[in-house]
Structure 1
Amino acid sequence: MDFDGAADELYGVVPGEFMETRKRLVQEARSAGDGALAKRIGSLRRPTLSAWAVDLLSRSAGDELDQLLDVGARLREAWSSGGGIGGLEQRRGELVGRLVRRARALAEEAGQPLRDPAVREVEDTLQAAAVDAEVAEEVARGRLAQPRSHTGFVPAGFPLSPDRPAPAEPVPAAPEEAGERAEREKAHRAALRKAEQTDRDLADREAETAEARADMESADADVGRLRRELDRAISRQEAAARRLEKAERRRGKAADAAEKAHRRARETAPPG
């Protein structure tokens, strides 16, 4: 077992099976004497439902996802070179919509239906993958633990969503207004990073709680099994004690009878 194989298996299971699967993989790595691999596997975090749905797309809708990532790369190239985007933007919107619907259907089939907030996170992640090359690589890898969103600059004519209009061309502002806007944008980006960090921390704590709960349930099951075995052992002990008591009484009676028989035999023996 190597790390890539373990990670692919881990992020391929439904979120509810993540903790147990990770625990098994960590134990397998330890049993193989690879403590470093066990540590790396143990550091992998349970995905949110929306992140898992995007991971599911990379496994079950790879061709369509590759098309979106290719369109995103061509759009970014056109953006950086100042070339025309032609029908790429429309194609991107069509692919995002199709992939969001596919993600909902796949999640439903897996028994993990997506609510509206999770659907929006799936869409935001796909949109971010079309804008940001690093997010595109993460999405293609299929091991997202958190949804992604693009908070940086997006050029005019490159809307984040087919249902969201492109931002209007900015009106030149006075230097004071520009400085104030820059400070507000900086504070906003810091707040977004903080919010994303707290979301990751919350997910880590939820995963930690789920793992502890799973361990507790496993221990409870072991205690229940041992108690049942103890009850059965006590029942066998009590039954054996009753049999022993009866056997000892019968043995006592048999010993008395044997003693009487021998005594009678000695008394009735003819003189020598």
Structure 2
Amino acid sequence: MEFSTAADELYGVVPEEFVATRTRLAREARADGDAALAKRIGALRRPTLSAWAVNLLTRSAADDLGGLLDVGARMREAWGSGGGLGDLERQRARLVAALLRRAGELAAEAGRPLRDQAVREVEDTLQAATVDEQVAGEVREGRLPRPRSHTGFVPAGFALAPGAGAEREPEAGKRPKPREKAAPAKDTAAPAERKAERPRVTRTSAARARRAEALAGRADEAERALADRTERADAARRVAEDASAEVGRLRHELERATAERDSAARKAERAEQARDRAEEAARDARKAAKEARRAADRDAAHG
């Protein structure tokens, strides 16, 4: 058994069967003498419902999903060059909508229809796969344990939009026209008036500089606060995902224990019924034996 084969099988079952399948595969690996493989299999995490639905697309809608991931790759290239993003955005929207419908159909066919929250998580994962190459690879592999999302408005690896913060380059073959120098305005102010105006200009410039510095400090503080809150939100999201997975695991174990209890109760009830029938048969047999002895005694007395 190879790890990839075991992982593909494991992430292809419905979430409720994940734990039992993982246990079986790990047991088979240990039986083959591969303790390391058994440990790797045992470490695989049970997928959430939305992650399982994305994995379904990898297996049952590979062509459509591959088309979306290809569009994502072209979008990341276009972002670097700044051209053709509009058409690619429209293609992405159509493909994501079609894949969401397909994911809902596949999940319903498997007996696990998707609710609104799961649908949103599937959509977030598909969108993230178009802007983040690493997420695209995970989606293509089809072994997601939890949904993915992308924070921000640009693809991973790009800090700014194309051309942001830079002057526009002149079109090829065209030279920018030199700016015409404006004729200097004739200074009609008296020397005394100009001398009185200079302190006011200096004070205004200094005030503006202090205000700009204060605003820049506030912007830095806001960015640090945003980064801190984003990190906390990501940590809380990971805790929530782990808790959700644990709840699913416990729910599955509870369902299995409940089924075992009900089965044991049915067996106990059947055993009690069989015991009652056996006791009744024994009483009938004892009664018949007693009557037979009495008949034999009467025959002996009259003989």
Which TM-score band (shorter chain)? 0.7 to 0.9
**What is the distance in 1 between the residues matched to 2:41 and 2:77?**
36
**Deviations along 1:144-199, whole A, 9 cap, x unmatched?**
221110125626xx9xxxxxxx9xx68x9954134213312321321221222122
**Deviations along 1:113-163, whole A, 9 cap, x unmatched?**
3333222211111111111121111111112221110125626xx9xxxxx
Within the alignment, does 1:46 sit opposite 2:46 as a pair? yes
**Deviations along 1:56-114, whole A, 9 cap, x unmatched?**
111111011112212222332444xx324414333323322222232223333334333
Mapping for residues 1-272 of structure 1, pairs under 5 Å: 1-25=1-25, 37-79=37-79, 82-86=80-84, 87-151=87-151, 154=154, 174-253=215-294, 256=297
Partner of 2:197: none
**What is the distance in 1 between the residues matched to 2:104 and 2:62?**
15
Query: Higher Cα Rg: structure 1 or 2?
Result: 2
**What is the distance in 2 between the residues matched to 1:30 and 1:214?**
27
**What is the distance in 2 between the residues matched to 1:189 and 1:121?**
18
Q: CA deviation at 1:23?
A: 5.0
**What is the distance in 1 between the residues matched to 2:297 and 2:106?**
83
Unaligned runs of 5+ in 1: 159-165, 265-272
Relative to structure 1, is the Cα distance of residues 147 and 23 closer, same or farther in structure 2, using a 3 angstrom cutoff?
same
Higher mean alpha-carbon deviation, 17-26 vs 94-103, is at 17-26
Contact 2:53 2:122 in 1 (8 A): yes
Structure 2 residue matching 1:122: 3-state secondary structure: helix
Q: TM-score, normalised by structure 2?
A: 0.68
Higher mean alpha-carbon deviation, 210-219 vs 141-150, is at 210-219
**What is the distance in 1 between the residues matched to 2:95 and 2:257?**
44
Unaligned runs of 5+ in 2: 166-211
Report the aligned-residue RMSD.
Answer: 3.5
Contact 2:69 2:130 in 1 (8 A): yes
